[in-house]
Structure 1
Amino acid sequence: MHAPTGLHRLGVVDDRRIGSICLLLFISLCACQTSGVEQAYPSRPLSFIVPWEMGTGGDVASRVLASALEKELDQPVNVVNQAGVNGVIGHAALVRSEADGYTLGALTEDIAMMHWTGLTRINFDSYSSIALIAVNPPVVTVRHDAPWETIHDLITGLRASSETLTASGSRIGGLWDLNRIGLLEVAGLDASVISWKPSQGSAPALQYLLADSVDIVISSLSAVDSLRRAGLVRILATMSGERLPSAPDIPTLKESGFDYESLGSWFALAAPKNLPDARLEFLRVAVWNISRRPEFRRSIQRTGFQLRHITGSTLRAFLYEEDLQNGLLLDKAGLSLE
């Protein structure tokens, strides 16, 4: 009477063990498959949203990065230009994309200005920031026959005279206009001593300069360097914190006694907010590998930008400082709506 019961119990125990083993094997298989998905990333082409027009300096530099990413990730990286509304269109397109690591974008200096002027609520905190890639610091340029040999001469002349000068380089409230305000503020001068003539970028501003309709242009070095080499203009200073590798003869503002610094135009690689940590770290390592290659550095420099790699908390601090500084300058210009 007892034997069947014992055998029955043994059979039940064996069935449970078999079921448990099957369950464990199933869980292990799922885990391996999930791990395989992560290890396989990226397994298909990526899109790279660029908020600049095709052919501009920022677009060319972004394409250099896209090409390097293709080699590093072994997947096509398709550049998609979405320019317009002072950078809002491209930046907003990245925010709306799926946070799966297959849509990346160039985060530019516009992200530190557009929300202050009421164009959008998007700011640097709307993204998963991967790494700063490159910067393009501003320079102060005058005609070759201008009476100022140095930036100190220019500021001294403004202090001693009631004459108002005119500068150009961007739209009113654009990056180069804010640099004008920042320089004059540290020099102890009112922004009105140099009025701003708006332009659609550096090229028309330099035409104004050569035609003697403005006295000063603030722009990137790459925009003005060919005119400098031709002897048509003189660069008084760079606003970079250190001398530019491509033009080491140009002094910085700080060397001349003016404690103002700007990295000018810049771009970082970013993804939509809430990108999974594993993919965020994967992309950060990929960019770090790319940034160490001399050929990538040379290719970036040929676009007029300078390689500047920072990531993590350092990048977040940089974005915060850029946002804060531009907000203060826009407020001083009467253009901030926040």
Structure 2
Amino acid sequence: MTDFTKFTRRGILKSAAAASAASLVPAAAWAADYPSRPLTMLVPWGAGGGTDACARMVSALLERRLGQPINVVNRTGGAGVIGHSAIATAPNDGYTLGLVTVEIAMMHHLGLTELTSEDYTPLGLVNADSPAVTISSNSEYKDLASLTAAIKASEPGTFKASGTSQGGIWHLALVGWMKALGLDGNHVTWVPSEGSAPAMQDLIAGGIDIVTVSLGETKAMVDAGRAVNVGLMGTERAASHPDVPTLAEAGGGEFQLATWRGVCGPKDLPQDVAEKLAAAVAEVAADPEFVEFMNGRGFNLVYLDAAAHGEMMTKADAQMAETMSAAGLIQG
């Protein structure tokens, strides 16, 4: 998987500042009247989840820089296909953007769509997170070691988990973790959901035993004392949650994974429009309000400029194909 640990906070600000400097190019270099009307930001996942929250903050800060309102619209369903398709097939005039997620590197390998990262104009990566292992505060297991031991001793299907659709990144996280423990990838039954928010609700209601989503997506329930993060599938602890140990530290085996979110438009956006949008996204990534929001929500702020964002998505596609094949998620 892509190693996001090399992107330090200093590097983020330096890259963002450099890209932001592009906005100083004389206005004549841009599409003179863009944007002249409101924009739409499409979100492929449900309201209340991490992608939704991130998209709404990015949109609010982009509004100030573009001088036009941005309407955030959730287009859910089809394991992320419907929303991602809506972004890719929108008119390439810069008035419809979207927050593209790691699932775009996965869905076509599952035969769900023919869409790939090549169907978008990358404008800037804003986030990369490793998933946590989260349990209800009422669970009989109080730490990762005891939970892991119980899973390994259980019959297949005894435990249930959720966090996204079947074959989604958080499902892949569970499968990878099970295989790292020497178990079948489906040892813990996956219960598909349309995002982290409904999965967390199901966890609290007792319908499932485990949720594997980002730390930020568990924050509301954890802060309310209704859920507990017992481990993180990262190479190191998150700065926002220094009390949450990695799997290796907590006796949960050796496994790491990262998901990501980035602003994109449809393929072949006009260059001047794409440059203006990319410069605005760079400014958002360096905005103290965005930094505070990301830290407060437990999201890992990782900024990549448009070119690096595109390269990362291409590499992620190849990496996910390899990982998913190893996990038995690609048939034939």
Q: TM-score range by the shorter chain?
A: 0.7 to 0.9
Distance in 2 separating the partners of 1:84 and 1:290: 28
The runs of 5 or more residues in structure 2 that have no matched partner are: 1-26
**Residues 173 and 297 (structure 1 numbering): CA distance in 2 closer, same or farther, change over 3 Å?**
same
Other-structure match for 1:38: 30
SS in 1 for 2:303: strand
Select 1:63's aligned residue among 39, 56, 65: 56
Select 1:275's aligned residue among 260, 269, 274: 269
Q: Is the counterpart of residue 262 in structure 1 residue 257 in structure 2?
A: yes
Q: Is the counterpart of residue 289 in structure 1 residue 304 in structure 2?
A: no
Q: What's the CA shift string for 1:177-197, capped at 9, x where partnerless? A: 210111122333322432333
Q: CA deviation at 1:292?
A: 1.2
Distance in 1 separating the partners of 2:175 and 2:269: 37
Q: What's the CA shift string for 1:44-81, capped at 9, x where partnerless? A: 12332222344444223212111111111223333343
Larger radius of gyration: 1
Other-structure match for 1:187: 181
**Residues 140 and 275 (structure 1 numbering): CA distance in 2 closer, same or farther, change over 3 Å?**
same
Other-structure match for 1:21: none
Q: Is the counterpart of residue 315 in structure 1 residue 309 in structure 2?
A: yes
Matches within 5 A, 1:14-163: 36=28, 38=30, 40=32, 42-45=34-37, 46-144=39-137, 146=139, 148-159=141-152, 161=153, 163=155
Q: CA deviation at 1:321?
A: 4.1
Q: What's the CA shift string for 1:103-158, capped at 9, x where partnerless? A: 32221222122212222111111111111122443211234465655434444555
Q: Is the 8 A contact 1:115 1:122 kept in 2?
A: yes
Q: CA deviation at 1:309?
A: 0.9
SS in 2 for 1:141: strand
Q: Is the counterpart of residue 236 in structure 1 residue 234 in structure 2?
A: no
Distance in 2 separating the partners of 1:146 and 1:315: 40
Other-structure match for 2:11: none
Other-structure match for 1:220: 214
Distance in 2 separating the partners of 1:306 and 1:318: 16
SS in 1 for 2:30: helix
Greater CA deviation, 77-86 or 285-294?
77-86
SS in 2 for 1:250: coil
SS in 1 for 2:247: coil
Aligned partner of 1:290: which letter?
A: V
Q: Is the 8 A contact 2:29 2:272 kept in 1?
A: no
Q: What's the CA shift string for 1:241-287, capped at 9, x where partnerless? A: 432233210012354574432233x3211112222334333322221
Greater CA deviation, 214-223 or 58-67?
214-223
Q: What's the CA shift string for 1:209-234, capped at 9, x where partnerless? A: 45555432222324433443454443
**Residues 293 and 309 (structure 1 numbering): CA distance in 2 closer, same or farther, change over 3 Å?**
same
Greater CA deviation, 111-120 or 165-174?
165-174
Distance in 2 separating the partners of 1:192 and 1:63: 34
Distance in 1 separating the partners of 2:103 and 2:315: 14
Distance in 2 separating the partners of 1:291 and 1:52: 21
Other-structure match for 1:13: none
Percentage of pairs with the same residue: 35
Distance in 1 separating the partners of 2:194 and 2:44: 16
Q: Is the 8 A contact 1:181 1:329 kept in 2?
A: no
Higher RCO, Cα 8 Å, sep 6+: 2
**Residues 129 and 204 (structure 1 numbering): CA distance in 2 closer, same or farther, change over 3 Å?**
closer
Q: Is the 8 A contact 2:42 2:74 kept in 1?
A: yes
Q: What is the root-mean-square deviation in Å for CA atoms of aligned residues?
A: 3.2
Q: CA deviation at 1:318?
A: 2.8
**Residues 299 and 223 (structure 1 numbering): CA distance in 2 closer, same or farther, change over 3 Å?**
closer
Q: Is the counterpart of residue 174 in structure 1 residue 176 in structure 2?
A: no
